[in-house]
Amino acid sequence: MEGDLNQKLLTEGEEDVKFRQKLWRELKKMWIVAGPAIFTRFSTFGVTIISQAFIGHIGPTELAAYSLSLTVLLRFGNGVLLGMASALETLCGQAYGAKQYHMLGIYLQRSWIVLFVTGLCLLPLYIFATPLLIALGQDEEIAAVAGYIGRFFVFVVLSFIVSFTCQMFLQAQSKNMIIAYLAAFSIGIHIFLSWLLIVKLKYGLAGAMVSTVLAYWIPNIGQLLFVTCGGCKDTWKGFTMLAFKDLLPVVKLSLSSGAMLCLELWYNTILVLLTGNMQNAEIAIDALAICLNINGWEMMISLGFLAAASVRVSNELGRGSSKGAKFSIVTTTLTSLCIGSVLFVIFLFLRERLAYIFTESKEVASAVADLSPLLACSILLNSVQPVLSGVAVGAGWQSIVAWVNIASYYLIGIPIGVVLGYIVGMGVKGVWVGMLVGTSVQTLILVIITWKTDWDRQVVLARSRVNKWFVPESRETNSNQENGA
C-alpha cells in the first residue's frame, strides 16, 4: 500500500515537472514573438506621436491638418494593407510549421504583388485629399494643408507594403528581434531629424514630413537587406516567377483579412464621428480622444500578443500538433489577460489624473474621470479579444471573423451606442457603452468558436492548404535559374 502511494506521488511529481517545463518552453516561444512585436508597435505608434508633437509647434492649422490626415487618410490605408498582409501570417506560419521553408519566400513575393496593386488603388485618396476632405465638409484651409500632407503620405502608404509583409514573414520564423532593433534605430533618427529640420533649419511642415517618411522607410531597407542578403537562408531562395502562380487564393484570403481588420478600425472612427454631433462636442471629443489615445497605447501590447497567438497557432497547426495549438492558445490568452487585469485596476483608480497628462482643462478632466471605468473595461476586453483574433488569423478564419465583426459592431454595438447616447441621453458614455457591448459580444462569440473548434480537423485543413499551394523546391530553383538567365 505504502509503495503504491509513493509510486503515485512520484508519478504526479513527474507530471508536474513536465507541465512546468512545457509551460516554460511555450512562454519562451510566445515572448520571442510578443516582446519584439510589442516594442516595434510602440515605436511605430511613437513615430506619429513625435511628428504630431513637433508639428504642434509649427502652428494650429498644421496640427489640425496633420491630425485630420492621420485619422481619416493614413489610418484607412494602414488598416486595409495591414489587414490584407495578415493573410501572410496564416500562410507563412503554417508552411514554417510544416517545414516547407522555401515556400515562405514565394508567399512573401505573392503578398508583395497583391499589396502593391492594392496600394496603387489607394493612392488617389492621398493625391486628391484636398477636394475629398472639402467634400466631406472640412474647413478649406485645413483641407488644403491636409492635401499637402497627403502627398507625403503616398510614400508612407507604399512603405506599408514592405513593412507589414516583411514583419509577418520574419515573425513566422520567430526572427523578429531584427525588426525591434530597426524600429528603435528609426525612432531615434526620427527625433534627431525632426529637431534638425523643424527647430534648427526651420523647414516647417516639409521638414516634419520628410523626417516621417524616412522614419517609415529606414526599417524597410534594413528588413529587405536582412531577408535577401543571408538572414533567412532557409526561407528566402531569391526572386521567382512562381510568385505570379496561384495568386487568386492569396487575393481571397487577403481580402478576408483586410475586411476583418478594417471593420474593427472603422468602428472606432464611427464612434468619434457620433460624438462630434453631440452637445458640448468639443469637451466630449477631447475626453474621448484622451481615452482612445491611452487605449491606443495599451492596444500596442494586445497587438503584440495577437502576433504571438497567430504565429504560435499557425506553427503548431502546420506542424500537425492540435494539442500544441490548444496549449498555445490557453497560454497566450491567460498571459495577456493577467497583464490586462493589472492595467484594469491601475486605470480604474487613476481616473481624472490621467487627463492632466494631456490637458489643463478641469471640464475635460472631469469628463475623462467619468469615462475611466469604461476605459478600464475596454483595456480588460482588449487583453482577450485581439488574442482570439490572432488565433483566427493563425488558423485562417479571417472570413468568419469578418462576419462576426459585422454582426457584433454594426448590428449590435453602434445601434446600442446611438440609442444610449442620443435617445436615452447618456452622451459620450452611451456611445462608449455601445462600443463595449459590441466588443463583448464579439469576444464571447470568438471564445465559443475557439472552444468548440475541432482542432484535429484544423490540423487537416492546415495541411491541406499547405499541400495545395506547395511548390517543390527543385521547381523553384529552376525558376530562379531561368530568371537569372
Residue 480 banded pLDDT, cuts 50, 70, 90: low
Is residue 297 scored above 60 in pLDDT?
yes
pLDDT at 451: 92
Q: What digits encode the pLDDT tens for the residues 10-41? A: 455 556 667 888 889 999 999 998 999 899 88
Is residue 445 scored above 90 in pLDDT?
yes
Name the residue type at position 184.
A
Q: What is the 3-state secondary structure (H, E, C) of 111-134?
A: HHHHHHHHHHHHHHHHHCHHHHHH
Residue extents of the structural domains in the chain: 27-245, 257-477
Q: How far apart are CA 345 and CA 440, in angstroms?
A: 19
Q: What digits encode the pLDDT tens for the residues 113-160? A: 999 999 999 999 999 999 988 887 777 888 899 899 999 999 999 999
CB count, 10 Å around CB of 8?
A: 10
Residue 9 banded pLDDT, cuts 50, 70, 90: very low
Is residue 465 scored above 90 in pLDDT?
no
Q: How far apart are CA 14 and CA 8, in angstroms?
A: 10
DSSP output for 316-353: HHHHT-HHHHHHHHHHHHHHHHHHHHHHHHHHHHHGGG
Q: How far apart are CA 482 and CA 485, in angstroms?
A: 5
pLDDT at 13: 55
Residue 402 banded pLDDT, cuts 50, 70, 90: confident
Residue 404 banded pLDDT, cuts 50, 70, 90: confident
**Of 105 and 292, the one with more pLDDT:** 105
pTM metric for this prediction: 0.83
| Helix/strand/coil for 138 | coil
Q: How far apart are CA 419 and CA 427, in angstroms?
A: 10
The least confident of 95-109, 444-458, 471-485 is 471-485
| Helix/strand/coil for 292 | helix
Is residue 246 scored above 60 in pLDDT?
yes
Cβ partners under 8 Å of residue 206, min gap 6: none
Q: What are phi and psi of 206, to 5 degrees?
A: -60, -40
Q: Residue 74: how many CA atoms within 13 Å on its side-chain side?
A: 24
Highest mean pLDDT among 131-135, 260-264, 446-450: 446-450
Average pLDDT over residues 318-334: 91
pLDDT at 471: 74
pLDDT at 286: 64
pLDDT at 485: 45
Is residue 6 scored above 60 in pLDDT?
no
* Total residue length of the chain: 485
Q: What digits encode the pLDDT tens for the residues 273-289? A: 565 555 555 566 566 66
Q: How far apart are CA 172 and CA 105, in angstroms?
A: 12
Q: What digits encode the pLDDT tens for the residues 181-227? A: 999 999 999 999 999 999 999 999 999 999 999 999 999 999 999 99
Q: Helix (H) and strand (E) counts for the chain?
A: 18, 0
